[in-house]
Amino acid sequence: MITNLIAVVFAVGYLGATLWLCRGFRFTVRALCLGAIAIAATCVLSLIYIPLPTGASITAGSWLPLILLALTYDKRLAMLAGMVCGALAPFLLPGWSLVHWAQFFLEYLTIFSCLGYAAIFGTQTKQQIAAGIVLAVVLRIAAQTISGAVFFGQYAWDGWGAWGYSIVFHLSGKIPEGIITLLLALKMPLRRLSALAQKGTVQ
């Protein structure tokens, strides 16, 4: 009962806050093209991964396209594109089929759209960018950990329980991938990429 309540509060709170942050966004041809490219890159990179002994995996930088979209163009577009990516995941990504309709709202609409939070604190300094990416990673870990405890507790290792299993499972893959994503993002020429994304020219 408590686990289900946590899931409902998290899903409603996250989706409500994210949709509120996306208010006022207007789609342009450029925005649609950039969003589509980020979604396609995310899905393709999600198919390339390194399996871990815990059963989790580390993908080939699948978090980076949406994070770069947020940092170089608009975090709102990255959030909305992430929701579209989550909606497409059950149809495009092997092993991503839904086990329950509520998983769609708790996990699928969250784990990609949360990457848009990478730009929530601003993009002027590396400290702001790092803080935003850390928040995005924390939100992704939280969503998948809660979802794991709710929907996949039956797969828990002996003696671990649903929460213990889900926490270790997701931390084992998401922490390394989060660190790799953070380091890659900080090495990117974000100002040049932003100029290209915003105006199609490099200054």
CATH of domain 2-199: 1.10.1760.20
Q: DSSP assignment of 33-63, as one string?
A: HHHHHHHHHHHHHHTSEEE-TTS-EEESSTT
Q: What CA–CA distance (Å, rounded) separates 117 from 76?
A: 9
Phi, psi of 59 (to 5 degrees): -85, 170
> 190: Cβ–Cβ under 8 A, 6 or more apart, which residues?
68, 71, 72, 123, 129
First to last CA, the chain: 55
pLDDT tens by residue, the chain, 203 residues? 788 999 999 999 999 999 999 999 999 999 999 999 999 999 999 999 999 999 999 999 999 999 999 999 999 999 999 999 999 999 999 888 899 999 999 999 999 999 999 999 999 999 999 999 999 999 999 999 999 999 998 889 998 999 999 999 999 999 999 999 999 999 999 989 898 888 765 44
- pTM, two decimals, is 0.94
Domain ranges for the chain, please list them.
Answer: 2-199
Contact predicate 129/64, CB 8 Å: no
Structure tokens at 173: 């893959």
Structure tokens at 176: 């390394």
103-134 tens-digit pLDDT: 999 999 999 999 999 999 999 999 999 999 99
Phi, psi of 125 (to 5 degrees): -125, 160
Instruction: Return the pLDDT at 202.
Output: 47
